Amino acid sequence: MNAIALACLVWTVAAYWLAKKAYARKQVVWRSPALTVPVLTIALMLALGISYEQYQTYTHWIVALLGPATVAFAIPIYQYRAVIRRQMVILGAAVVVGMVVGVGSAFVLAHLFHFNEEVTNSLMARSISTPFAIVLADQIHGSATLVSLFTVMTGLVGMIFGDIVLAWGKFRFHLANGAAFGNAAHGFGTFRAGQRHSDKGVIASLTMILAGLFMVLAGPSLVKLIVWLSIL
């Protein structure tokens, strides 16, 4: 048994548990477990000379749990099926427009900075929640590791700047605010939308889930279409 790899697993679980407790006492962005745990983990790995290969020897089982988490998304869809029926047109339009813009802008920026194919594909998959993004990345030959990183970064930025953008745009409707947070910032955005108003949180959650389902089903075709249009 690899003692260093085992220590990394214990550290990851313990650090997340402690960070979650600390965040529950005072909910500010910089204390979020999704921010504090990765930063501390990277700092420790650099200080102790631990390679990524050593770190992920046992921690890859944590990533594997994202599979069951994806299936669990069916629960809120069932619970809020009445909301989905009432707002189907708006939610559908928000998901389609948001995903097309997200994937298209990622492709354009990746080519401007001359990223390789794996990084480009990973960026195009980062517009949805992590469990869905990993599935999509596998379908379009991206990297599960990179897409996880890009998705977290997207969520954090969306949560931090979402309030500013929505205030600047003077969007007052709960549906519009919730859809924006769910589309742009995934789980982080859903959490922030729920802090603003319970209705926004519900809409953000549904938008996030529907966007993930849409991209898993239609994402590979959408990516191929964007690549094809770029070479015309």
Question: pLDDT by residue (tens digit) across 184-213?
Answer: 888 788 878 877 777 788 888 888 888 888
* Encoded tokens for 71: 């299936």
* Encoded tokens for 135: 């599935």
Under 8 Å CB-to-CB from 179, ≥6 apart: which residues? 90, 91, 94, 98, 203, 204, 207
Return the pLDDT at 1. Answer: 64
Handedness of CA 69, 19, 32, 76 (dihedral sign): positive
Under 8 Å CB-to-CB from 162, ≥6 apart: which residues? 180, 181, 184, 185, 189, 192
| DSSP strands (E only) in the chain | none
In angstroms, the CA 84 to CA 154 distance is 25
- Tens-place pLDDT, residues 72-99: 777 877 888 888 888 888 888 888 998 9
As a whole number of Å, the end-to-end CA separation of the chain is 54
Nearest one of 117, 60, 94, 54 to 175, comparing CA atoms: 94
Entry pTM: 0.77
Return the pLDDT at 41. Answer: 92
Q: Of the ranges 44-48, 130-134, 188-192, 223-227, which one carries the lowest mean pLDDT score?
A: 188-192
Per DSSP, the three-state class of 164 is helix
Q: Are 211 and 98 contacting, i.e. CB atoms less than 8 angstroms apart?
A: yes
- Tens-place pLDDT, residues 20-76: 888 888 877 777 787 888 889 999 999 999 988 888 888 888 877 776 776 777 787
**pLDDT averaged over the chain?**
85
Give 83: exposed, middle or buried? Use CB within 10 Å, 0-12, 13-18, 19+.
middle
Amino acid present at 124? M
Q: How many CB atoms lie within 10 A of CB 116?
A: 9
